[in-house]
Chains A and B, each alone.
Chain A
Amino acid sequence: MWSLAWTLAFVFLAMALSGWQRLGLSRELVVAAVRACVQLFLIGYLLKVVFHLNNLWLTAAMVTLMVCVAADNASRRGQGVAGRFWRVFVAVSATEVCTQGFLLAARVIPPKPSYVIPISGMIIGNAMVAAGLFLHRLRHEAAARRGEILVLLSLGASPKQAARTVVKAATKASMIPTIDSSKTIGLVQLPGMMTGQIIAGADPVQAVRYQVLIVFAILASAAVTTVVLGFLTYSRLFNAYQQPLL
């Protein structure tokens, strides 16, 4: 425990630099350091309890909470798209159920909270980023392609047909970061989970096995999230008379 206290030196270093350069960030740094400590320790103890109890419902409740936080966070990106919290919630839940369900059903990971919760965290976190990007791009694309949408509608296109290119572009754009980061993974930086496992004494090859699993899972999660979200949101771009809203 005391060895950890020494790492506070990093915070002091950052504060000293901030003071010297008059960045005016000292207060923010203290707040950030304190928050990080408190949140992580709380989570650490909470996880200890959850892992120890090894209860299905408690695990499910934790995962649901994670999905809620992720949905709230991502849905802030889609102003103008009504009812987006629930749509993101459904998309992220579907992603979690599909990917985590597959990992469990195929017995890739054992059904223990100590596996399910951290891996869920990564899947949901990635789904959150993809969903946020999707909503942001959807608005942008719908505005940029308004003329095209009007042409399609005027020819009698259904909302689904009229929204197709916009949804497609948004889906593509929101998957690209996940795909790009998968391409360079391990070359520039070791992924956090792998680093942690190696430091904790795991065999690097064993750590790589889990990391590969994670990479595949988050690729799938980005795809599932954006595709489900696409299906759930395209109709929100139009009103009851099939007029564009954005």
Chain B
Amino acid sequence: MTHSAREHPWALQFVNVSKWVVGEQGRRCVLDRLNGRVATGTLLTLVGPSGAGKSTLLSLCNLLQTPDDGEVWVLGREVRDWPVSQLRRKVGLVWQQPVMLPGTVADNLALAARLHHEPPADGAALLCRVGLPADLLHRPAHELSGGQMQRVALARTLANQPDILLLDEVTSALDREAADVIEKLIVEWVNSEHKTAVWVTHDTEQARRVGHETWLIAEGRAVEQAPTAQFFTAPQTVWGQRWVLAGQSQGERNA
């Protein structure tokens, strides 16, 4: 049952992945034979218009949703062949909308340990890693601000010691300074521990700052896949060129 400690070269592989959703206008194809793979030790940033299917793609990686067609491989094993709980421990997912469980911040941080009958991680140290003061520990989690919740949710997932992190716009409620702390933390976590992260972000500059590799999701596919530097300097496809141009003009407006 236990997965060998030997590292698999590909943390994630998507093979002709398709996903339909049933919406108001009937059945709609969200992902259409998407292909791609992510090497272990990579920080992949995902960009694309909203509604393109980025969040859906993340939820396929920890099997919160099942692909309708194609395969998703995690560390050399297809998601549906994994023991589900084990897969979800290895692949941590942090949502854009953080949900706190009833109880204090400390209760939330101890959740993973409680579920797996392990001694709880050091809550104060976890808070410190995401840039929050330790005196939040005994506050009811529901009383936190949106930005604080986002960071507690990230710390709660880190406490589970995943090998792969899926981050869905986790700095959307943070100011620039707080976002910097998170960016440094994730970059450091990936680089020093040779972990893998897939980071969905609306912030083009952020995608550029933190990524090793960047994919543009559109029309249900990863239309441009390139090392991050190349993605932003020399996009190969029309889609990529348009996205980067739009991002530049947005950056100039913000400047």
Interface residues of chain A, those whose CB is within 8 Å of chain B, are 147-148, 150-158, 161, 165, 241-243
Contacts and interface: CB of A to CB of B under 8 A. Distances in A.
Contacts of B84: 241-242
Given A156-B115, A242-B84, A243-B65, 17 more contacts: A147-B97, A147-B99, A148-B101, A150-B95, A151-B101, A151-B111, A154-B62, A155-B88, A155-B89, A155-B157, A155-B160, A156-B85, A156-B112, A156-B116, A165-B102, A241-B63, A241-B80
A150 B80 CA distance: 18
B151 to A, nearest CB: 15
A161 to B, nearest CB: 6
Nearest to A157: B115
Contacts of A157: 85, 115
* Most B-side CB within 10 Å, residue of A151, A155, A243: A155
B86 A156 contact: yes
A241 B84 CA distance: 7
B115 A152 contact: yes
A82 B157 CA distance: 32
Main secondary structure of the interface of A (DSSP, over half): helix
Contacts of B131: none
B148 interface: no
A155 B66 contact: no
B99 A148 contact: yes
* Most A-side CB within 10 Å, residue of B64, B89, B160: B64
Contacts of A243: 63-66
Contacts of B88: 153-156
B92 interface: yes
A155 B64 contact: no
B93 interface: yes
Interface in B72-101: 80, 84-89, 92-93, 95, 97, 99, 101
Interface string B33-68: 000000000000000000000000000001111100
B156 interface: yes
